[in-house]
Amino acid sequence: MARYAFSPSLLALLERQHGVVTREQLVADGLSSAAVRRRLAGAWRLVAPGVVSVSREPLTEDARLVAALLMAGPRAVVTGAAAARRHGLTSARRPEVVDVLVPVNQASRSQAFVRVMRTRRMPDGTHHDGAIALAPVARAVGDLCRGSRDERDARAVVIEAVQRGRTSLDSLRHELFAGPRRGSALLRRALDAAATGAWSAPEHDLLVLLATSSTLPRPWPNPRLTTVSGRRLPTPDAWFDDVGLAVQVHSRLHHSGADDWDRTVRADSALAEAGVLRLSITPHEISATPRDVLARIERLHASRSPNDRPAVVMEPRGPGVR
């Protein structure tokens, strides 16, 4: 960008649009079409039809979203995985293409890394962050699930969206029934998973596994635990209240840093100090050796009696409540 003397107005536009502009915006700022072509042969590049990056560097994630919106037209809205990530849902994978919604009567087609989805249901309550227009969380998650082929990924995003309070089960159910039936099966099953109260996909896998046991009582997902004196205890992923058994799923994803691991160790210690029996397992164990995991939990539960239960008060917790 430093090689050219941009006008103050163009500099402001480039900052707002994360370094991408349309040819029309460049011409409107005073550059001739010939000047734009010359610069495209040098330090600039065309990243989508009619959309120019004033750098040869790879586009940032935000720049990709702006470029997709500029290509698709002024009423376009980002949806799907790209919007879910921009809303802060870390379970959403970075998509190869950016999905954008446009009105059904708008002539626009998918090109480059942009997939244009014409719809009669342009979302209300569009979220604007500078030049980036995002579909609401429920719509973004719904479109992600309808376009996904990976049930586990879809389930993880729905559970995260609900448990982190980014949207509600009711809003997602409304999106399920208001949207197209095609591709809705994954969204429906993901909603069923979120309704169990699991806080993550591995926790849901654990609850599904526990439900297959013929000897274990019903586990409580993510209950509030306190001592009789009212001191708050860490929340186990699954809790057997009859004997005071806590089952924890320890995932590398949530222990990526030293601070995360320290918090986990402190939480386990706090439960131990309150007399709670704990069993820790990993997501890999649940998927690779589910029978062994279930047998371990059944044996540990059978080794305890209600007389062994620690003096801990349990309060059930519903989906989306932390």
CATH of the domain at 282: 3.40.960.10
State the pTM of this model: 0.77
Q: Are residues 221 and 161 in the same domain?
A: no
101 in the same domain as 121 = yes
Structure confidence at residue 48 (pLDDT): 95
| Rounded (10°) angle between helices 201-210 and 290-302 | 60
The predicted structure's pLDDT at residue 255 = 41
Same domain membership, residue 108 and residue 73: yes
Instruction: Over range 55-69, report the average pLDDT.
Output: 96
Return the pLDDT at 109: 85
Token couple for 66:
């702006």
Rg (CA), the chain: 25
Distance in angstroms (rounded) separating the CA atoms of residues 236 and 201: 15
pLDDT score, position 258: 44
Nearest alpha carbon to residue 234 among 171, 134, 314: 314
DSSP 3-state of 164: coil
Sequence-distant (6+) residues with CB within 8 A of 246 are 236, 237, 238, 239, 271, 276, 277, 278, 279
Q: What is the pLDDT of residues 89-123, one digit of tens each?
A: 999 999 999 999 999 998 878 998 999 999 999 99
User: What is the domain range of residue 71?
Assistant: 62-194
- Parallel/antiparallel/unpaired status of strands 114-119 and 98-103: parallel
277 and 159 belong to one structural domain: no
| 95 and 28 in a common domain | no
Structural domains in the chain (count): 3
Residue with tokens 């001592």: 227
Q: Is 169 exposed, middle or buried (0-12, 13-18, 19+ CB in 10 A)?
A: middle
| Local structure of 111: helix, strand or coil | strand
Q: What is the pLDDT of residue 254?
A: 47
Answer yes or no: is pLDDT of 292 > 90: yes
* Range 34-47 average pLDDT: 92
CA angle 103, 165, 221 (to 5 degrees): 130
State whether 212 and 282 are in the same domain.
yes
Q: Is the pLDDT of residue 170 over 70?
A: yes
Residue 256 has pLDDT above 60, yes or no: no
pLDDT at position 257 is 45
Cα separation, 219 vs 215, whole angstroms: 12
Q: What is the mean pLDDT of residues 293-313?
A: 95
Task: Please report the pLDDT score of residue 299 as a whole number.
Answer: 96
Tokens of 11: 């500099």
Pairing assessment for the beta strands 132-134 and 220-221 based on DSSP bridges = unpaired
What pLDDT does 265 receive? 59
Alpha-carbon gap, residue 83 to 136, rounded angstroms = 8
Residues 235 and 152 grouped into a single domain: no
30: number of CA atoms within 13 Å, CB side?
6
Q: In this predicted structure, what is the pLDDT of residue 3?
A: 53
Instruction: Report the number of secondary-structure helices (H) and strands (E) in the chain.
Output: 13, 15
Mean pLDDT of 136-156: 95
- What's the mean pLDDT when you consider all of the chain? 90
My answer on whether 70 and 174 are in the same domain is yes
Domain's final residue, options 167, 194, 221: 194
108, 118 contact by CB (below 8 A): yes
Higher-scoring residue by pLDDT: 270, 16: 16
* Ranges assigned E (strand) in the chain: 20-22, 45-48, 51-53, 77-79, 98-103, 114-119, 127-129, 132-134, 220-221, 224-227, 232-233, 238-240, 245-249, 277-281, 312-315
Judge if 104 and 164 occupy the same domain: yes
- pLDDT for res 317: 80
DSSP codes, 148-160: -S-HHHHHHHHHH
Task: Give the pLDDT confidence score for residue 51 in this predicted structure.
Answer: 97
pLDDT at 67 over 60: yes
pLDDT value at 200 more than 90: no
- Is residue 95 domain-resident? yes
Residues 134-152 have a mean pLDDT of 96
In a domain, 92, yes or no: yes
Quick one: 268 and 300 in the same domain?
yes
Confidence of residue 253 (pLDDT cuts 50, 70, 90): low
Q: Are residues 111 and 92 part of one domain?
A: yes
